[in-house]
């Protein structure tokens, strides 16, 4: 029985001269992999080849197990023309697609992640968008949604303030420990990344924004947070995402 729902294309690989293997994030079904027979034909089920970040109404037949589902129709309804014309925004959008694919298992519904990705791509497409800030916020909310990010204000080792009562001392982030480590706890942990003042300010701003408070996420703070969260993704995923070096560095 065909299913119909909003979806965003995460991956597109040529299968033949006329067909593609496609991975979508569908709002209700989660990540799904489909065979798009004839999708590259102008008169095919999508009116031509489907591109990364394409968003619209997807009609498909799901298959159980390892078999690919079948795409029967895709009608693109959201234009990404302005986003694709800006190199920085485009790289951030492609990084977001890769991050979603790495964070979510197949057929694991996450409507909130679909909305996060939709909103990110929409913001990146606006002229003058603060790319580092919106990308850092997307990383933060996605990792929080899938359960890979705990509380970031307290030390994951002792439970005390990460920066100490005086605000002094070196603070580190450990992916294995799941959070920040204070000056007293970090020496016992080998896997860690130094969290400088910009990273700590960025984390505080993101936490405030998530709580509905006004927060100023400066570009240095946003970039520091992006590096920290990308480090976390790399450790959890077992390898660095391909688009990381185009966005983080």
pLDDT tens for the chain, 249 residues long, are 889 999 999 999 999 999 999 999 999 999 999 999 999 998 888 888 999 999 999 999 988 766 799 999 999 999 899 999 999 999 999 999 999 999 999 989 999 999 999 999 999 999 999 999 999 999 999 999 999 987 788 899 999 988 754 456 799 999 999 899 999 999 999 999 999 999 999 999 999 988 889 889 999 999 999 999 999 999 999 999 999 999 997
What is the rounded distance in angstroms from the CA atom of residue 67 to the CA atom of residue 14?
A: 17
Torsion (CA) 123, 209, 195, 164 in degrees, nearest 10: 180
Beta bridge partners of residue 109, listed in sequence order: none
> Tokens 């606006």 appear where?
126
| Separation of CA 216 from chain center | 21
Closest CA to 195 of 218, 229, 166: 229
Could you report the per-residue pLDDT of 164-209, keeping only the tens digit for each?
544 567 999 999 998 999 999 999 999 999 999 999 999 999 999 8
Which architecture, in CATH terms, is 3-79? Answer: Beta Barrel (2.40)
The conformation of residue 106, written as its DSSP 8-state character, comes to: B
List Cα–Cα distances, 34 to 13, 23, 51, 53, 213, in angstroms: 11, 6, 14, 16, 41
Angle at 78 between CA 41 and CA 216, to 5 degrees: 140
Distance in angstroms (rounded) separating the CA atoms of residues 47 and 14: 16
β 30-36/69-78 pair status: parallel
Helices 111-124, 131-145: axis angle to 10 degrees equals: 180
Contacts of 96 (CB under 8 A, 6+ apart): 117, 120, 121, 135, 138
Question: Which residues, listed in sequence order, are joined to residue 60 by a DSSP beta bridge?
Answer: 3, 71
Q: Which segments within the chain are labelled E, that is strand?
A: 3-14, 20-26, 30-36, 55-61, 69-78, 171-174, 179-181, 193-195
Sequence ranges of the chain with CATH classification 2.40.50.140: 3-79
Q: CA 231, CA 229: separation in Å to the nearest integer?
A: 5
Nearest alpha carbon to residue 107 among 174, 55, 156, 60: 60
Angle between helices 219-237 and 197-210 (to 10 degrees): 90
**Secondary structure class of 146 (helix, strand, coil):** coil
| DSSP 3-state of 111 | helix
């Amino acid at each position: 029985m065909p299913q119909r729902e909003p979806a965003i294309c995460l991956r597109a690989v040529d299968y033949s001269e006329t067909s593609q293997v496609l991975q979508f994030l569908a709002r209700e079904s989660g990540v799904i992999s489909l065979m798009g027979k004839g999708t590259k034909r102008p008169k095919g089920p999508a009116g031509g080849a489907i591109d990364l970040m394409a968003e619209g109404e997807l009609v498909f037949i799901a298959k159980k197990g390892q078999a690919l589902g079948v795409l029967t129709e895709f009608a693109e309804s959201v234009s990404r023309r302005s986003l694709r014309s800006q190199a920085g925004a485009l790289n951030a959008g492609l990084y977001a697609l890769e991050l979603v694919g790495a964070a979510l298992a197949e057929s694991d519904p996450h409507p909130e992640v679909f909305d996060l990705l939709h909103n990110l791509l929409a913001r990146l497409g606006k002229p003058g968008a603060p790319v580092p800030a919106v990308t850092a916020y997307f990383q933060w909310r996605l990792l929080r949604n899938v359960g890979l990010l705990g509380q970031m204000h307290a030390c994951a080792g002792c439970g005390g303030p990460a920066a100490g009562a005086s605000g002094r001392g070196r603070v580190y982030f450990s992916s294995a420990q799941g959070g920040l480590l204070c000056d007293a706890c970090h020496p016992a942990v080998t896997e860690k990344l130094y969290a400088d003042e910009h990273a700590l300010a960025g984390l505080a701003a993101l936490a405030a924004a998530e709580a509905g408070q006004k927060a100023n996420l400066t570009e240095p703070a946003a970039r520091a947070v992006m590096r920290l969260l990308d480090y976390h993704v790399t450790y959890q995923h077992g390898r660095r995402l391909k688009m990381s070096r185009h966005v983080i560095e």
